[in-house]
Structure 1
Amino acid sequence: MKKLAFFFFYVFVANAAGAADLPSLGDSEDSIVSKIDRRQLGRAIMYRLRNSDRYLDDPEIEGYINRIGYRLVSNSPVASEPIEFFVINDRSVNAFALPGGFIGVHTGLIQKVRSESELASVLAHEIAHVSQRHIARMIASQKRTGMASMAALAVAILASRSSGSASAAAITAAQAGLIQNKLNFSREYEREADRIGLKIIRNSSFDEHAVESFLKFMQRTTESSVAGAPSYMRTHPFFYERLADIQNRLQNAPYKQIPDSIDFKLVRARIEAQTDFPKKSVEHFKNKLSQKNYTSELATAYGLTFSFYLAREYTEAKKMARYMMHLDSQDPMVLGLAAETLVKSGDVVDGLDIFERALADFPNRLPLVIGYAKALMDSGSPLKAVDFLDKQIFKYRNESRLFELQSKGYALTGNELLQHRAQAEAYYHKGELSSAIEQLEIAKLNGDGNFFEKSSLDARLKQFIKLREDLKSR
């Protein structure tokens, strides 16, 4: 995050000093920052995030966060808008919203919450910030329509919201106070996000008392911490007022016993396996299993299987995968890891069979789609992989990872035109428009391809060039 803060820092400081006060809650931020601008800003920031070492590119963890996120979004004021959730590899307890409906979740938050409802309560709060356009209003307060000025503020907001101290580390102490006043959500914004977030939690069948329990947990963490307030409290101000307000709202609300999903437990084990060196993680999960020091045997077995996999001890991973499937042979996360492990261990036929059966039962699980395509290519079947991906891309039109896999498949089959065409789509969906145009120009210079493929390529190249010109004119 520090690199992102530095990127636009000087532009931001120049504009921050003369900025006007924030618009009132009744103002329309669309008059200054359009929906297209917000989405474009979000995509630009996501491009930089995806190329940083903090972005966690793990389809299983990202898929889980999006499933729980979509459940909440469907019961929110932005149910019809495109909201995307992503994961930041950071041990601090935090989550943050970006312009355009992008919501980031720290791995530390997923690990530290005591229940799935607590995790949902934090996501609901961030969804409420999106639904009420709080980030857009902060950007609109600059009274600038230039994309550079807005991008500078947006990146500074990202640094502040995601880590709390990252932006302060990028600037001098004298400048910190000035900028922080512009970045922190106002008392009204936080109260509004709490109120709407509580409704989202209630309507999504989570325990609404988890909102209070999470805030109390943060309070206890602060009181016992020598390092001061955790990131969540630094980036979500007016904490004690918010806690009192939530307690008043929940005074007569009944308690619900909402059990955690098995995927919540599996995802936590998957994150835990990646927080240390693989061999240390192996020993950690081995000890937990042997001492029966767990709340879920399946999640602990999953953690050990994944740790063996990361340590490239595929024979041991295969043994644990069989044991894991003995405990539960129906969960798609279990099936996906078992299938990957079997293929890596050389048991290709059984591994592909598990993938195919899992996809028949769970056709909309993106991690299974990605895993199966990779397994086909790793086992020497790139043509089958390309054919499979062709069908899946109709369903996942904006998924850059599928286009990257498709490009790899075409490369393995020797089809250079379609290799570069697919790589262009991958770049475009990651926000790298110039690289996408370059790939299409390389593909155009290639002599192969039929009339339809070449015509389609020419049309897409013209579309990208026009888009680049439009963005430059903004």
Structure 2
Amino acid sequence: MQLFPLLRSALLAVALSASPVGAQSDLKLPDLGTSALQVLPLEKEQAIGEVMMMQLRSQSPLIADPVLEEYLSSLGNKLVANANDVRFPFTFFWINNNDINAFAFYGGHVGVHTGLIAQSDTESQLASVLGHEIAHVTQRHLARRLQNARDNSAMTIAGMITGILATIIAPDAGLAILAANSTQASLNQLTHSRKAEQEADRFGMQTLHNAGFDPYAASEFLTKLSDQIRYKNKPPAFLLTHPLPDSRVSDVRLRAQQYDKKYYASSPSFYLAKSRALARYYYKPETAEGYFKNAKERSSDLDKSALDYGLAISLLDQKKLDEAGAIIEKLITKDKYNLFYLDVYTDYLIAIEQTGKAMEILKQQHELRPNNQVITLNYANAAIEAKDYDTAEQLLKVFLLEKPEHVLAKELLTKTYEAQEDKAAYHEAKASLMSHYGAFSKAADEIQRALNHVEDHEDVKRTRLKALLSQYRDMQKEIAKL
């Protein structure tokens, strides 16, 4: 478990008793001390980020969607590759929330609400927000908050970190709670300062341009948010933690004028990702069906593949299999290597009980692109549906060697062992899944159950499980001491 020594060395305590699905947990961090406030070491920043990520997993509707994950990671890492002062790898993830919002916190974790892509008109608009959030991390704005908090007697460092997480999960509720219980100085620590916003705007726009996106999209996005303030009583969630004074839109617009104004095309993947977010997360399936049918009638584009794709998802999710099948068959024939189409086509084949055909197609794709998460996880899922558990197990174990923290792969492997009635492996896999959410005590309990199902001759397995048990219990002891 790679996270364990990092957390131990950083002396971070997290009292988490979350279960893997929908449980609540409490984050407890010790005061980092004045020396840490002078300069927050990168290792400690990453450790704080991992703890906050555990908390976020247990409290928020993170999306386990390999297709959208693939798109977001590709877009995000393209921006990171063109950013300044990058000190560690970034992690990008989706939250199922219709608000226009994105956020970044310690250790390069960047969360994006599905509502952001649903309401972005172009890929450059979406990229402008990601570039802005990346700049908050690379310029260490959160680390600076810890420094500034040294003079803020109304809020401890641990309380501040918890407060940052609260505003990430629900900005309006989090800030309201803090406003009722803290001084204005404390509250200000949980929103980006005007100086930090200006700096993130400047560095973010440079990153946007370097990565080949439209610098003018940043002002377009802020204008859209500004217009929403005018017509709504409640401001967009993004503005609750990213202040928008009157001068900011004009400042960003003026800054963009240093770049040539030209046309920047959005990638086909952007439109497909947007359609998927609209169909599967933003709208209910029946509403999405109406939306895509109307959009197809209004659209003048010759290629309406993205709209057809969204319509196929909405029909499939309503079990209108014949209509969905006609559309997705047409799309997959047109582009059989497209991961968006392949994912929905697999769902369709499973729905009409043609798992054998799904496995045959995915096996061919897997040979071409081994360990691609969309292909591998769809292949494993189809194998589970076909009761070919040996194939599913092999696929998932190899995949997890490369991506050991992939939650959906862990869930599918747990499901595979349960179906095989391999109780020792099932409880071990379940323990790994629980540790992903910081539930170390429950993970230890699962390892103990796994040990109860180890055969007398399986000495190596017993030794390995006992080492895992000791590791989980040691982490729990660290929590208890702190």
CA distance in 2, matches of 1:192, 1:107: 26
1:205 matched to 2:221? The reply is no
Counterpart among 80, 100, 105 of residue 107 in structure 2: 100
Counterpart among 341, 345, 355 of residue 348 in structure 1: 355
Deviation sequence 1:75-129 (CA, Å, 0-9, x none): 2235451321122222221211122221111112111122101111110111111
Q: Is the 8 A contact 1:97 1:135 kept in 2?
A: no
Q: Structure 2: which 5+ runs fail to align?
A: 1-21
251-260 or 414-423, which deviates more = 251-260
**2:3 counterpart residue number:** none
RMSD, aligned α-carbons: 3.1
Counterpart among 68, 92, 97 of residue 85 in structure 1: 92
| Aligned partner of residue 165 in structure 1, secondary structure | helix
CA distance in 2, matches of 1:124, 1:427: 32
Larger RCO: 1 or 2 (CA < 8 Å, sep 6+): 2
1:367 matched to 2:374? The reply is yes
| Aligned partner of residue 100 in structure 1, secondary structure | coil
Deviation sequence 1:374-406 (CA, Å, 0-9, x none): 111011111110011121111112212212211
1:160 matched to 2:167? The reply is yes
295-304 or 239-248, which deviates more = 239-248
207-216 or 289-298, which deviates more = 289-298
Matches within 5 A, 1:15-414: 31=38, 33-52=40-59, 54-77=61-84, 79=86, 81-143=88-150, 149-161=156-168, 163-170=170-177, 173=180, 175=182, 177-223=184-230, 225-227=231-233, 229-274=235-280, 275-289=282-296, 296-414=303-421
CA distance in 1, matches of 2:353, 2:252: 54
**2:476 counterpart residue number:** 468
Runs of 4+ residues over 6 Å off in structure 1 = 6-9
**1:418 counterpart residue number:** 425
Task: Provide the identity percentage.
Answer: 27
CA distance in 1, matches of 2:133, 2:371: 25
CA distance in 2, matches of 1:298, 1:117: 20
| Aligned partner of residue 259 in structure 1, secondary structure | coil
Task: Quickly say closer, same or farther: Cα 1:367–1:431, change in 2 above 3 A.
Answer: farther
In the TM superposition, residue 290 of structure 1 has moved relative to its aligned partner by 5.8
**1:440 counterpart residue number:** 447
197-206 or 227-236, which deviates more = 227-236
CA distance in 2, matches of 1:367, 1:155: 34
Partner AA of 2:474 in structure 1:
K
Task: Quickly say closer, same or farther: Cα 1:374–1:140, change in 2 above 3 A.
Answer: farther
Partner AA of 1:430 in structure 2:
Y
| Aligned partner of residue 305 in structure 1, secondary structure | helix
Q: Is the 8 A contact 1:420 1:440 kept in 2?
A: yes
In the TM superposition, residue 276 of structure 1 has moved relative to its aligned partner by 3.0
TM-score, normalising length: structure 2: 0.84
In the TM superposition, residue 62 of structure 1 has moved relative to its aligned partner by 2.7
Partner AA of 1:345 in structure 2:
I
| Aligned partner of residue 81 in structure 1, secondary structure | coil
CA distance in 1, matches of 2:367, 2:467: 35
Task: Quickly say closer, same or farther: Cα 1:244–1:344, change in 2 above 3 A.
Answer: same
Counterpart among 445, 457, 463 of residue 455 in structure 1: 463
CA distance in 2, matches of 1:36, 1:312: 49
Q: Is the 8 A contact 1:400 1:425 kept in 2?
A: no
In the TM superposition, residue 151 of structure 1 has moved relative to its aligned partner by 4.2
Deviation sequence 1:220-264 (CA, Å, 0-9, x none): 3333x1325433233212543333333333333112422111121
| Aligned partner of residue 90 in structure 1, secondary structure | coil
Task: Quickly say closer, same or farther: Cα 1:364–1:190, change in 2 above 3 A.
Answer: farther
Deviation sequence 1:313-357 (CA, Å, 0-9, x none): 334332222022134323111112112211221122221222223
| Aligned partner of residue 402 in structure 2, secondary structure | coil
| Aligned partner of residue 43 in structure 1, secondary structure | helix
Partner AA of 2:467 in structure 1:
A
Partner AA of 1:278 in structure 2:
P
Task: Quickly say closer, same or farther: Cα 1:100–1:285, change in 2 above 3 A.
Answer: same
Task: Quickly say closer, same or farther: Cα 1:401–1:112, change in 2 above 3 A.
Answer: same
Q: Structure 1: which 5+ runs fail to align?
A: none
Task: Quickly say closer, same or farther: Cα 1:401–1:45, change in 2 above 3 A.
Answer: same
Partner AA of 1:463 in structure 2:
Q
In the TM superposition, residue 294 of structure 1 has moved relative to its aligned partner by 6.4
Task: Quickly say closer, same or farther: Cα 1:367–1:434, change in 2 above 3 A.
Answer: farther
CA distance in 1, matches of 2:161, 2:423: 39
Partner AA of 1:42 in structure 2:
G
| Aligned partner of residue 103 in structure 2, secondary structure | strand
CA distance in 2, matches of 1:399, 1:7: 21
Q: Is the 8 A contact 1:29 1:137 kept in 2?
A: no
Q: Is the 8 A contact 1:121 1:198 kept in 2?
A: yes
TM-score, normalising length: structure 1: 0.85
Task: Quickly say closer, same or farther: Cα 1:80–1:381, change in 2 above 3 A.
Answer: farther
In the TM superposition, residue 425 of structure 1 has moved relative to its aligned partner by 1.7
Deviation sequence 1:132-177 (CA, Å, 0-9, x none): 2211222344449xxx954432232233356542224435657474
Q: Is the 8 A contact 1:56 1:88 kept in 2?
A: yes
